[in-house]
Structure 1
Amino acid sequence: MRIVIAIGGNALLHRGERADAATQLRNVTSAAEQIAWVAERHQVLIVHGNGPQVGMLAEESERDPTLERGYPLDTLVAETQGMIGYWLAQNIGRRLPDTPVGALVTQVVVSAADPAFDRPDKPIGPYYPTEEAERLSDERGWEFTKEEHGMRRVVPSPRPIRVIELPIIKRLLDQGCVVIAGGGGGVPVASDRSGVEGVVDKDLVAALLAEQIRADLLVILTDVPYVYAHYGTPRERPLVLTSPEELDAMAFTAGSMRPKIDAVCAFARATGRPATIGALNELVAVITGARGTHIREGRALGRRQR
């Protein structure tokens, strides 16, 4: 099978963990072990998130007194592609010494007229206490959203239109490479390839790539084992098998689970092939169908649960 695996940035840097390189490398090493198991048996394209990492770099850049202004987000996305892509390639390559593994800096075309630029909703970076978030909003013009663990910066997240490096990605997969591409949703660029200030959602890019490379399965990994109906209420229940139609009728948070739902539904509808959402530390069980939420086009199936 040809499988696209999307790894969330929060899965590589868990909530409450320090953003030390050693911490993230430990999490990447654990992920790489399971990805290598899959890649021994299937063709694999890996897309990774970068929300915590790009936000951390943006904050460091803004605070640097030697700079006239902080680095733009498109440049920081490219920087995190290199960092996380290197970590993944290094650790997967150790486990698959006879398989070429490559990380590709990837550009994604977006529209300058996308309404997302007027409604920032993509969380990046660390959590802030309310008072500090208010100060940063006044000083830097940043916008914030309130989450369970504190205030978090939000930036525009335009929809992906086209992946510029798609022909290269296809060629590498056809030649038997494990490919890491679309990191952080890809570097957002305009049609003339000039950088755009924003962060593209990596799940939507993963779905777009999965459709265009004719993947047999799209797997989106995060830090929860299932999609939950009525999440956070006494009626909460895990969905094991569901459909785009059933998911459409449910409410999900715009900046976190909603893009994942949109991505798997778009892929299932466009291709008729399955998609799965599950936990990074259960990747093998998710691939084999033992864990995770499995989405298939057709009649509502979500009443099945564990």
Structure 2
Amino acid sequence: MSGKRLAVLGAGAVGGSVVELAESYGHTVTAFADSASAVVDTDGIDPASVLKQKHDEGRVGSADPESALHADYDVLVEATPTTLGDAEPGFSHVRHALERGADVVLANKGPVAERYADLMALERENAGSVRFEATVGGAIPVLSTIEDLSPEHVTAARGVLNGTANFVLSRMATEGLDYEHVLAEAQDLGVAEADPSFDVEGTDAALKCVILSNVLAEGEREYTLADANVEGITNIPGSALELAAEDGQTVRLIGESTPDRVRVSPRLVPQNTALAVSGTRNIVQLETKHAGQLNISGRGAGGPETASAVLADIGRLD
């Protein structure tokens, strides 16, 4: 595989990690943008100095963010924050890159979950490819496994797809603590955001399940977040976990994806089984027609972890 020139949009944990790790995968970052600035260098930016500037000054450079879209690159890495509804500005970034002949790798879930049919149409109409492994399960190679098996041979996917919610439920179960106490602990540790609603209300897991169902449906039907049946963990009392434990079970926020349905809700699962992963770990179970049940588990979030999925996708491009 020859090295690619990358333009990275988004300077959060994932985008920053892609910039930091790209050289070790044989690639050159020629443009890097945050929401307020950009740095562009045809010969390749200096990752260490740019990331230090972002840390010290809150911006990656002095150029306009739009300049990154117009730089010289082979692959656009879209790692801006996920937005719902029209999935902007991420969707327009993808359109611009494809229409100029570049490939696109997404960590941003918005365009894949909310405008999947439009995204696939853009890919068909242009020479570039779109890949989005990093949108589901962080470092876990869920989508590439489905691709290798072929979606028509995978009947369903289910699993634990949000590390924050899983950390909270795990701690509630093992320590006998209530939801509010554990959530505050998770925020102190940086496991939960200051506003954790996206995670604990099930939205993040639902977006990932929507993406999985879109892939499994193979264009026969399009799903968006509005099609998902979603229930989070905010109303689970500690007593529910205690009662579950007495029966040899625990509670996990389980997402289910099929070509016909998307559902996310707290479910009872037997202790010491595959779905009872603890802490921030994720797991996805694939039900297949010919290979039985496949379990794929690992770190479902984090900058370097998710960046590894982005860089793996870049490696899969022709």
TM-score, length-scaled by structure 1: 0.28
TM-score, length-scaled by structure 2: 0.27
Could you say which structure has the larger radius of gyration? 2
